[in-house]
Structure 1
Amino acid sequence: MTKEMILIVDDDARTIEFLRDSLLVPSGYSALCATDGEEALHLALTQEPDLIVLDLQMPKMDGFEVLEALKKAGQKIPTILITAHGSENVAIQAFRLGVRDYFPKPFKVTEMMEAVERSLAEARLRREKQELTERIELVNRQLEQKLRELTILYGISKSVTSLLDLDKLLTRIVEATTYITGAEEISLFLRDEETQNLQLRAVQRAGDKQAHGARESADDAVVRQVMSTGRLAMIQSPRSRKTDPLQATLAVPLKSRNGTIGVLHATTKTAMEPFSEDDRYVLSVLADYAAIAIQNARLFAEVEEQKGKLETILTGTEDVIVVTDEKGRVLLMNPAAAEAFDVEPGEIMGKPLLEVISNEMLHQLIRRQMTKKSARNLEVPLLDGRTFYASLSPIPEVGWALIMRDITYLKELDKMKSDFVATITHDLRSPLTSIQGLIQLLPQVGELNEEQGEFTEQAMKNVEHMQALISSLLDIGRIEAGVGMEMGPIHIEVVIEELLRNLQGTAQDKELSLEAILPDDLSVVEGNHTRLVQVITNLLDNAMKYTPKGGSVKVSAQEDEDQITVYVTDTGVGIPASARPHIFDKFYRVQGPATREFEGAGLGLATVKSIVEKHGGQVHVESRVGHGSTFYFTLPKIQTTPPVR
């Protein structure tokens, strides 16, 4: 611990020796001595003692003159005044000049030592207070500096992170770095996402008013080091003298979740000191903001590119596309949809889709499927005469997508085909009747041998098969034309139970389990009894035909708000995914080893589809090869009260 220093000023050498050698030094203090006022003032100003013991009467400058000079110099050194010529006026003047204690000679040793301790204690307190004040001021200055840095960083980060144009963003980062560090050259290197090569993308050099973009390959050892390690690097060139300017380089990594994506590089050539710890901290924080902003800008550019592609697709396609949120409010509608529904896209965004469109079949599809949270397809006729194939599917974390494809041309082709088939089948019926009659007359012309008999029998079977096929085609034609489709109230569960009783014998012959699981009190549907019997019979015949021995066939029903759904489920061979889209087409039969042994014209399911659609319903299939199939169709309920809209 440094000894406290006391300056003894007296023109009497004996007094100096007594104070120094007998009192102060033995008590652990160090002493300075002066014999006149000028010497005392010089030592007080240069050595800054902790206490002055000052005689009043001295050559050159008396004690009061010394005190006055110290006061003018701004020195506040505690002082004890001693004098051989004391008086009340001397004491008053001494205390006015800041003297701590006043002793007339001769003085008591104990009183002098107490005064010394008292004065030094006060000095210590003042010194500690001064040191504490200086420390507080230093901390305040440091806090103010940090606050300025944070304010600058906040302003810069706000400016940087608000930019989504990558080139503008990079130049802004370089300009901000120049502002913070004052470096003569700032460069920003970025790894190219496609080539993975490092490129110089923005630079600002001494004399440049602003940063500018660049696209140059980078081959800098410091930059490569930072890219490799992902850690800050600072390099400074040696200098021969402290007064020489310093060249220093500071390189900071730009880090993202996927690693280091670039380097922010600052170089100074005229600095007297290297980059400070504050410089390194501030630049590191700026680099973190910059990396986030760069990633955001890249993601924004990618989203904009994908958005442009999507807009091109949506605008160019003739398909109707509508996207809603989970509550059915419109998020997106392409021009084809706006034209089909006769609305303005900008006016209906955010509105419920059910309020935007007026097509009742679409209303039913939307209400039903949004409740079930499942996909569904439906043929929807519009008022302008066009027919669309509508598909409503859930989109995870978004809502729903309604996609409608114009199938008017296909429907027209299908009608032309049906008309052509109806004409051909009608024209073939008379010749086939004649052929059948001639075959029946052959035995009457003359006896047939065994081989001729077999040929005749085979010919008759083929004619009968052709007649059955023609009858089926004519039947489909009548269904599609609505001939014989008188409607009335039908209890569908009664139809199902009656059919199951009639088919139990067939099921037992094939060792199949045939059962119905129906809810009580199903609502009444409006339909044609004969045709609905035909639908369920065809579905059950198919189920039993393609289900091996030991399997099961089950009929069930479910009632919704506005319709009844009937399910026919089997444990048969199943239907391949590639065949399901065509399963209801006329003459289509699934080809494969599991179905080759079964005969059929491919008209049964086409008939089912025609009848169900004439009833205002839809028919669908779900299947897994080797596990079985479920065919289900819907029938609208008879509404006793107007449905809720």
Structure 2
Amino acid sequence: MNGQPGDTDRLMHSEDAAEPIFETLKRQTDQLLAINNVITAAANSPDLNHTLSAALEAVLKLVPLDASGISLIDYAAEELVMYAQRGWRRDFTSEPMRVKLGEGISGLVIRSGEPVITGDLSDDPRLQVPAFIEERVKAMALLPMHARGKVVGVLSVMSRRPYEFSSAEIGILQVIADQVGLAIDNALLVDSVRAQQQRLEAILHATADAIIATDERGTINLINHAARRLFNTEAKLLGEPLCEAPFLPSIRERLCAALQPNAVERTFEVTLPNQQCLLCEVAPIQVHKSSALPSWVVVFRDITHHKQAVQARLNFIQTAAHELRNPLGAVLSALNMLSKPLENRLNESDKELFDIALRSVLRMQELVDDLLNLEHIESGIGMRFEPINVFEMLARCTNDMRPLLMNKQQQITLEIAADLPPLLGDERWLSRAVINLISNAHKYTQEGGQIVIRAFQQVTDGKPELIIQVQDNGPGIPREAQRRLFDRFYRVRHAEHQAVGTGLGLAIVKSVAEQHKGRVTVYSELPLFSTLWQNKGTTFSLILPYRDQAD
């Protein structure tokens, strides 16, 4: 069939109508491609200059203009500085064009946060850079670049011919400007993180402590220079499991034990074959909140000089104690030798003076012994941790103290839980701590008083502990005195209960507990609104964690 003339007219009209649609679709496609090019450049390159160049190229492809530029705010200098340009006659980036913040046309853009469109700038009084007149701009649009709610720079596009910017063009240019603003902000954040990382690495490598870090799987991902020097290894430790690293077997085994989730101790000391002493601290860190497993940081600190200083101090005290013991022993022997011949020849006054001299010498000997014992305990030198039968140890302590308690007709009772597991500790010093507590109860409890020794096991925060209690029914201890009970040379004073002693007994108990990673507590209560001592009794509790041989 032959087409009718009316059909031909309608087809031609349809083709004419389709052209604006195709042009609109093409323009929108070009706009999307331009935005995509800027986003891609910002995402794939941390280089800020590359992102700025991509943005300027996209702008000049998008609008039929002659030149474009990007200026960024330098808040420290309070200036707007040009960083990139395309199509300009003069170079404003090698020696950057700078405009004071708040001045000129750019100042209006930054203050308002909105685009500004101008015409011919030849005689515009707002120009701050006279050389800019040479660009002979007839039309220009300046658009603010936003990031995180603030203006970070200005995107400018220029034409050397009169040009009317459409609202659509301004809209798409603003999108590009904001994408560049986000890219700039991200690049600055990356630079900040990189600079912070470099500072941390400089600190890690400058410190004298040897530091090793692992990921959640226990694989080494950081080792500083001090660690390499300490272990004298050039091996590729990065990427190696910590438990398989070429350390001494004794160090590797204790590190692996410390990495276990239920590890009791993550701080320990090791001695190298060259007698160098190290304090090792293993600490978990949660790098990623979503990860169920922690990463680890291991710090080795050389404490050889500290150990040597402690040993030197102990040697000095031992020497001083020895020098004091000799004359004290001679005085004591002389007094004992004189006591029998003079026993029937001295009057009561002379006997009292003689007894004072004898007690003073004995007290001086006790003070020297206690000071020496306290130094031994606090230094930790010579302590031997072995399994202890708790019942047998407490029974021996009780039997050793019975003769002293009988002088005041005091009774002592043992209440020890059945099947107590052995405790890993130094029996010599734990026995001394228990005897000190019994002696303290004896001194401050009236004649005929009761003293009870208890031992039982409890679980605190999922960890088993041995509790050894010494309870008396003597006078209570004022609350204000309880805070200082374990200080050196401190003794509770009361007119009716002035016991003799060096004031070091409870300090020794505290040091013994701390050397066993434990603690000591006291419970004693006086009647409310009363300052008089009442026979409410006092309970000292020695709390010691159960640990295995590796700990």
Question: TM bucket by the smaller chain?
Answer: 0.5 to 0.7
Identify the residue that residue 275 of structure 1 maps to in structure 2: 165
Q: Does residue 1:403 correspond to 2:299, yes or no? A: yes
Q: Does residue 1:604 correspond to 2:497, yes or no? A: no
Instruction: Using the TM superposition, give the Cα deviation of residue 428 of structure 1 relative to its aligned residue in structure 2, in angstroms.
Output: 1.8
Question: Is the alpha carbon distance of 1:264 and 1:200 closer, same or farther for their aligned partners in structure 2, counting shifts above 3 Å?
Answer: same
Q: Does residue 1:419 correspond to 2:315, yes or no? A: yes
Q: Does residue 1:222 correspond to 2:105, yes or no? A: yes
SS of structure 2 residue aligned to 1:636: coil
Instruction: Using the TM superposition, give the Cα deviation of residue 411 of structure 1 relative to its aligned residue in structure 2, in angstroms.
Output: 0.3
Identify the residue that residue 89 of structure 2 maps to in structure 1: 207
Instruction: Using the TM superposition, give the Cα deviation of residue 203 of structure 1 relative to its aligned residue in structure 2, in angstroms.
Output: 4.5
Unaligned runs of 5+ in 2: 123-135, 289-294, 445-452, 471-476, 494-498, 525-539
Instruction: Please show how residues 430-469 of structure 1 align to structure 2 within 5 Å.
Output: 430-439=326-335, 441=338, 444=342, 447=346, 459-469=357-367
Q: Does residue 1:340 correspond to 2:236, yes or no? A: no
Say which of 347, 352, 356 aligns to 2:241. 352
Instruction: Using the TM superposition, give the Cα deviation of residue 434 of structure 1 relative to its aligned residue in structure 2, in angstroms.
Output: 2.1
Query: Higher RCO, 1 or 2 (CA under 8 Å, sep at least 6)?
Result: 2
**Counterpart contact for 1:321–1:337, Cα < 8 Å:** yes
SS of structure 2 residue aligned to 1:533: helix
TM-score norm. by structure 2 comes to 0.67
Q: Which of these two proteins has the greater Rg computed from alpha carbons?
A: 1
Instruction: Using the TM superposition, give the Cα deviation of residue 334 of structure 1 relative to its aligned residue in structure 2, in angstroms.
Output: 0.9
Aligned pair count? 480
TM-score norm. by structure 1 comes to 0.59
Say which of 20, 25, 37 aligns to 1:143. 25
Alpha-carbon distance in 2 for matches of 1:569, 1:284: 78
Instruction: Using the TM superposition, give the Cα deviation of residue 407 of structure 1 relative to its aligned residue in structure 2, in angstroms.
Output: 0.6
Alpha-carbon distance in 2 for matches of 1:436, 1:535: 27
Alpha-carbon distance in 2 for matches of 1:544, 1:170: 86
Alpha-carbon distance in 2 for matches of 1:338, 1:200: 46
Q: Does residue 1:471 correspond to 2:358, yes or no? A: no
Instruction: Please show how residues 579-618 of structure 1 align to structure 2 within 5 Å.
Output: 589=488, 599-600=503-504, 604=508, 608=512
Instruction: Using the TM superposition, give the Cα deviation of residue 319 of structure 1 relative to its aligned residue in structure 2, in angstroms.
Output: 0.5
Alpha-carbon distance in 1 for matches of 2:81, 2:443: 73
Question: What residue identity is the alignment partner of 1:252?
Answer: L
Question: Is the alpha carbon distance of 1:138 and 1:227 closer, same or farther for their aligned partners in structure 2, counting shifts above 3 Å?
Answer: same
Alpha-carbon distance in 2 for matches of 1:273, 1:352: 67
Question: Is the alpha carbon distance of 1:622 and 1:220 closer, same or farther for their aligned partners in structure 2, counting shifts above 3 Å?
Answer: farther
Instruction: Using the TM superposition, give the Cα deviation of residue 311 of structure 1 relative to its aligned residue in structure 2, in angstroms.
Output: 1.9
Question: What residue identity is the alignment partner of 2:199?
Answer: K
Instruction: Please show how residues 520-559 of structure 1 align to structure 2 within 5 Å.
Output: 522=421, 524=422, 529-534=427-432, 556=457
SS of structure 2 residue aligned to 1:415: helix
Question: What residue identity is the alignment partner of 2:313?
Answer: K
Say which of 228, 235, 242 aligns to 2:118. 235
Identify the residue that residue 548 of structure 2 maps to in structure 1: 636
Instruction: Using the TM superposition, give the Cα deviation of residue 182 of structure 1 relative to its aligned residue in structure 2, in angstroms.
Output: 5.5
Identify the residue that residue 174 of structure 2 maps to in structure 1: 284
SS of structure 2 residue aligned to 1:227: helix
Say which of 120, 132, 138 aligns to 1:247. 138
**Counterpart contact for 1:164–1:297, Cα < 8 Å:** yes
Alpha-carbon distance in 1 for matches of 2:272, 2:376: 24
**Counterpart contact for 2:34–2:59, Cα < 8 Å:** no
**Counterpart contact for 1:226–1:263, Cα < 8 Å:** no
**Counterpart contact for 1:223–1:263, Cα < 8 Å:** no
Question: What residue identity is the alignment partner of 2:239?
Answer: G
